[in-house]
């Protein structure tokens, strides 16, 4: 059998019960990775893990609320207990709204009206959760002198998209943390990169329902004239950034947006 790009590697993918996370989890498994499918809902992670196993891959589902530090560390420990280590860490999950009243996506809120509970929850499930996962996997990656970390940000933060204060701030914080870790951890053989997506997701579906004209206008701004597909478009990029082809790339932001923004 021909060797696959990620044979023998162990990956954790958060937010993997649906959408972008599911697409990446499937892609990594098809290239030989053993995948820890992590998300808040037990039924969805089990379904994706079953899907991977049905295709002949290896996977476990782990119910994990990324906004809870103990669950983040427990998720990483379960990966290590099951497969021995972690080679690939993909932080894709992101909460919206507040812990008491979560939402499927952001809603327009002016800077002066920013809800501080929403600020705290958005940051905790975004930048802070990404940091927790990075700290949890670091000892394992350092010991084996190998690691691939992929964090998810957004061009909304880069351009300062109006009405998106909490989301913009946490996504730019994720980029800052990632660049810092890339510079500090490169000596240990650990690559840290960022993906900024414009893909069909649950959040975009919520936007489409709430603001259909806005979403259609957004598509017109994309040179490819479509939103990306998680499996078709995100999966291959995740495989590349998880594999040997990206060994000399770190601290970089990859704009998975069909050309919508050409930002550094």
Query: Which residues are identified as catalytic?
Result: 167
DSSP tag of 109: B
Reported residue count of the chain is 264
What is the spatial distance between Cα 113 and Cα 243, in angstroms, rounded to a whole number? Answer: 43
DSSP tag of 199: B
Can you tell me whether residue 197 is helix, strand or coil?
strand
Do the Cβ atoms of 195 and 237 come closer than 8 Å? yes
Angle between helix 165-185 and helix 129-144 axes, rounded to 10 deg? 10
Residues 6+ apart with CB under 8 A from 112: none
Do the Cβ atoms of 39 and 64 come closer than 8 Å? yes
Do the Cβ atoms of 48 and 235 come closer than 8 Å? no
1, burial (CB in 10 Å: exposed 0-12, middle 13-18, buried 19+): exposed
Q: Could you tell me which residues are beta bridge partners of residue 36?
A: 12, 60
What is the spatial distance between Cα 14 and Cα 12, in angstroms, rounded to a whole number? Answer: 7
């Amino acid at each position: 059998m021909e060797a696959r790009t990620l044979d023998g590697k162990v990956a954790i993918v958060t937010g993997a019960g649906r959408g972008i996370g599911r697409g990446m989890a499937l892609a990594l498994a098809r290239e030989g990775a053993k995948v820890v499918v992590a998300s808040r809902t037990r039924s969805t992670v089990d379904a994706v893990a079953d899907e991977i196993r049905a295709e002949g891959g290896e996977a476990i589902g782990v119910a994990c609320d990324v906004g809870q530090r103990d669950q983040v560390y427990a998720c990483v420990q379960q990966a290590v207990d099951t497969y021995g280590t972690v080679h690939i860490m993909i932080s894709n999950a992101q909460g919206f709204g507040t812990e008491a009243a979560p939402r499927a996506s952001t809603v327009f809120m002016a800077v002066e009206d920013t809800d501080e509970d929403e600020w705290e929850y958005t940051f905790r499930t975004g930048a802070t959760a990404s940091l927790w996962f990075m700290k949890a996997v670091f000892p394992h990656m350092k010991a084996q002198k190998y690691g691939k970390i992929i964090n998810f940000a957004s061009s909304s933060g880069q351009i300062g998209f109006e009405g998106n204060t909490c989301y913009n701030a946490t996504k730019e914080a994720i980029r800052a943390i990632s660049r810092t870790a890339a510079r500090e951890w490169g000596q240990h053989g650990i690559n840290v990169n960022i993906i900024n997506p414009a893909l069909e997701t649950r959040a975009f579906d919520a936007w489409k329902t709430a603001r259909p004209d806005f979403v259609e206008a957004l598509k017109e701004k994309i040179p490819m004239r479509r939103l990306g597909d998680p499996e078709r478009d995100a999966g291959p990029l995740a495989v590349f950034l998880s594999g040997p082809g990206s060994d000399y790339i770190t601290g970089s932001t990859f704009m998975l947006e069909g050309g919508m923004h050409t930002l550094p």
